[in-house]
Amino acid sequence: MADGSEPHAGSEPAFAFGKNWSDFLSRLDDTRIAAAEQSLISLLNRNELTGCRFLDAGSGSGLFSLAAFRLGASVVSFDIDADSVACTQHLQKQFGTEERTWDVQHGSLLDEAFLEHLGMFDVVYCWGVAHHTGSMWQAVDHLAERVRPGGCLVLAIYNDQQYVSRLWRGIKKIYQKLPGPLRPVLTAGVGVVLFVRRLVVTCLAMLLRLVTLRNPLVPASRWIRETQGRGMHRWYDLVDWVGGWPFETARPEDVFRFLRDRGFRLQELTTTPGHGCNEFVFVRPEDAERPDRPSH
């Protein structure tokens, strides 16, 4: 699910990501902030970000801008959704200090001139945003240009499930056409189906481990860890998933090749077998020459 938002002005209306994250902020507490910090620590394999310049591209609620700031980074956050910008500004005013900069701006991943104006960064973080722009590969290309030599690009992109992804695209279009009061009903219905499916799979996995004399609690504990991860909220993540539009997907190998051809090296990869995001950490080597930007 997405952290940020980058609605695209197209024939279909974009999902109101910022309003969703405004509601989420009312539930933000120290436990969720600590979980977001731990997520960054695990992703980047470092305990602090002191001296780093961190770009949160599509900041959404602002939670991961806050996490990076608390870990010592100087942060630039931006979003195209005005409500998302307001969310991040709220956290910046509440938690920011004069020790380091935390700049919050309104801008688009598809605006190359805007991004060039921001400069270069040690960490470019774009979790669940590029696939909502309507021009995903262009957005990723623009992000890659903002990474310093020796820096890293953190991406989360919806997994391409082929026919299943087409089904989800249809559900999202239905969501866009529904009156506002009916949208939570559709979201809750989808949530129940996903919960029951996961419950059945988990119970079968526990039974299989039990009959093979292995610890049967492992599948359940894995589910709990996934639920608690990254400091996000299950309901607002679900709303984001069901309603999130525009909607694009990519196979892990396509993302890998796209950034490999731009001089990046894959450092970390976490894939999902289902409808979630594949998570990538790419590094631009210190000594790598910046190749011409190939077409995708």
Domain CATH number, residue 120: 3.40.50.150
Decide if 196 is inside a domain. no
- The CA distance from 125 to 75, in Å, is 11
Q: Examine residue 26 and state whether it is found in any structural domain, yes or no.
A: yes
The mean per-residue pLDDT over the stretch 200-218 comes to: 91
DSSP state of 104: E
Please check whether residue 152 lies inside any domain of the structure. Answer: yes
Q: How high is the pLDDT of residue 290?
A: 58
Residues facing 105 on adjacent strands: 78
Residue 243: other Cβ atoms inside 10 A: 21
C-alpha torsion sign, points 132, 21, 277, 202 = negative
In a domain, 296, yes or no: no
Domain contains 290: no
| Range of the structural domain that residue 113 is part of | 17-161+245-283
pLDDT of residue 65: 97
Distance CA 89, CA 296 (A): 35
pTM above 0.85, yes or no: no
Q: With respect to residue 49, please indicate whether it lies within any of the assigned structural domains.
A: yes
Read off the pLDDT of each residue in 210-226 and give the average, rounded to a whole number.
84
Tell me the pLDDT of the chain averaged across its residues.
Answer: 87
Provide the b/e sequence for 185-194 (b: ≥16 CB within 10 Å).
eebeebbeee
Task: Write out pLDDT tens, residues 122-158.
Answer: 999 999 999 999 999 999 999 999 999 999 999 999 9
CB 42 within 8 A of CB 267: no
What pLDDT score was predicted for residue 5? 52
* pLDDT given at position 244: 79
Residue 258 has a pLDDT of: 98
In a domain, 224, yes or no: no
Confidence of residue 11 (pLDDT cuts 50, 70, 90): very low
Q: What is the pLDDT of residue 8?
A: 47
State the total domains in the chain. Answer: 1
Q: What band does 275 get if pLDDT is binned at 50, 70 and 90?
A: confident
Report if residue 176 sits inside a domain. Answer: no
Chain centre to alpha carbon of residue 167: 21
